[in-house]
Structure 1
């Protein structure tokens, strides 16, 4: 259960070089707004793109956080200084977009957090009603200050747990001076981060495919086995252990096992990938197979490992047959 204690909103209009800092927290909002903010906050906790990080000692945000915790500054002052700092860094690095900068104190699972939602305002269409010469005219107009009800690709967010100052970020990389960077993690928070669950799984999947090809293993067998292990860990809330995956997939290929672990280490993938709050996606649960004839089949990974439902047969002429078994009904989609 997530509960907000305080919320304050600042406007960072980098497009027009304008920073509007609120002096007080939000008052009572209606149910629609409360639900929207709670939904966005929950998505930060549950995002598969969430990166865990550690502050560097030189971090200005960490300095502000220490002052907030020891009551040297108020929450309102903390949020103002943070918003101004973010605005200045955006202007410095040419991040010229308009956003509503929400800073909140919240309680979740008996832990207190600072939550920051940098909501990139989107453009939509609305209407305006005008009186002209005793006539009412309704015009359709663009409106550029809309806040989405969910996390979008342009939104940025981070969480800091107050007890131990651990942090995590949800963001897509932006280009600064020709280089793709995690703007909040690297520039704003001045932190070091580990790959997110999503990035880690992408690395594991790609490397599994490469290893199966390099060491002449059956990709149709090994990739679903890997996906099944990931889903099982998530559903049982167990960290994904790279050693266990390597042992299961490459038990009979010691060179592949060693190379698999070493390559993931080089890519920064942690040896134990936390899955707290992570939910398996549809792509985690299925394996897509595409034949050289253009036929595509999507099969649940749990069925790939048993001949009771799916069987692959190598024919004498070198072709492969796929047999689907125990089907009671077929629909066309």
Structure 2
């Protein structure tokens, strides 16, 4: 359960390239504000892009994070200064406001930091010229994301143990002439573990490379991989690479060794927490695109039922797909 105690918004002034600090918190009695803060927290906690890390005690921000509960407003100013000192030197990083939220999550004290990137929107304004009222259009370049929009960068930090959950994007850092995760690498000065989405991507790449090395039919192995992933996430709430390897390769030690070699090289983290609900509805179906343009979507629980669907390898090297026991067909036009 989320209980919000304080929240404050600091603005990045596009004209001066400097922050405009707030000296008082947001009004939490406003329902739309309260709902907005809840939405920001949930967008980080419920994202398959979320990465996890733990700050060391000698991290340069620990002193500030420890002061949050005692002096929320002044501490957020200090954090904002460091954050904007990075973004203002790197024009590829989108300008934004910083929203800080001090709250408890299941009675654990937490700090939320959310980067609200600006977007452009057209609005009206009223001008008076020579006593003539004229309605005009103007571009507002500081529109914040609404509660339904995904945010690209944000963090929830548990103040008790300095464990953080973060979503972020790579941006070009001018001084280094390369893209990097500046939120964690430059602001937090830390490197989190890969996200659930990144871990799944690594598994997929390792399977593809293993399939290529042994000339296996890639579409079939990837379908089996998705099946194994869903099973591991549903039953164990983790992605266990040993379970994946056992499901795909059985007693073939050579393929297993190749698979383990590939995922290690890619940086995969074994048995990282994973929930199938987080990765979304695409993991409820097996989807195939055939080279003749036909696309097939099969519920994952029916994919392995030979009474429903069958893939047949033909002598000429082609593959046939048989859909069986159809009683009724509905057009989804």
Length-normalised TM-score, structure 2: 0.90
- 1:82 deviates by 0.4
Aligned-pair Cα RMSD in Å? 2.4
Q: Check 1:68–1:15 CA distance in 2 against 1; reply closer, same or farther (3 A cut).
A: same
Per-residue CA deviations over 1:200-249 (Å, capped at 9, x if unaligned) read 11111122122123223333332222212322344456111111111111
- 1:45 deviates by 0.4
Instruction: Measure, in 1, the Cα distance between the counterparts of 2:45 and 2:18.
Output: 30
Q: Determine if contact 1:10/1:100 at 8 Å carries over to the other structure.
A: yes
Instruction: Measure, in 2, the Cα distance between the counterparts of 1:45 and 1:153.
Output: 12
Instruction: Measure, in 1, the Cα distance between the counterparts of 2:148 and 2:194.
Output: 19
Per-residue CA deviations over 1:68-118 (Å, capped at 9, x if unaligned) read 46x4xx111111110111111223444564311111111222322100001
- State how many pairs are aligned: 330
**SS of the counterpart of 1:126?**
strand
**SS of the counterpart of 1:193?**
coil
Query: Which residue pairs with 2:312 in the alignment?
Result: 313
Give matches, 1:8-87, under 5 Å: 8-13=8-13, 16-28=16-28, 30-56=30-56, 58-68=58-68, 71=70, 74-87=71-84
Instruction: Measure, in 1, the Cα distance between the counterparts of 2:13 and 2:212.
Output: 50
**SS of the counterpart of 1:192?**
coil
Give matches, 1:104-183, under 5 Å: 104-132=101-129, 135-150=132-147, 155-176=152-173, 177-183=176-182
Query: Which residue pairs with 1:227 in the alignment?
Result: 226
**SS of the counterpart of 1:273?**
coil
Q: Determine if contact 1:56/1:190 at 8 Å carries over to the other structure.
A: no
Q: Check 1:15–1:224 CA distance in 2 against 1; reply closer, same or farther (3 A cut).
A: farther
Per-residue CA deviations over 1:253-288 (Å, capped at 9, x if unaligned) read 212212212321222211112125952323323333
Query: Which residue pairs with 1:245 in the alignment?
Result: 244
Length-normalised TM-score, structure 1: 0.90
Instruction: Measure, in 1, the Cα distance between the counterparts of 2:316 and 2:68.
Output: 73
Runs of at least 5 residues in structure 1 that lack an aligned partner in the other structure: none
Instruction: Measure, in 2, the Cα distance between the counterparts of 1:25 and 1:105.
Output: 11
Query: Which residue pairs with 1:289 in the alignment?
Result: 288
Instruction: Measure, in 2, the Cα distance between the counterparts of 1:276 and 1:190.
Output: 28
Instruction: Measure, in 1, the Cα distance between the counterparts of 2:119 and 2:262.
Output: 40
Q: Check 1:143–1:236 CA distance in 2 against 1; reply closer, same or farther (3 A cut).
A: farther
Query: Which residue pairs with 1:203 in the alignment?
Result: 202
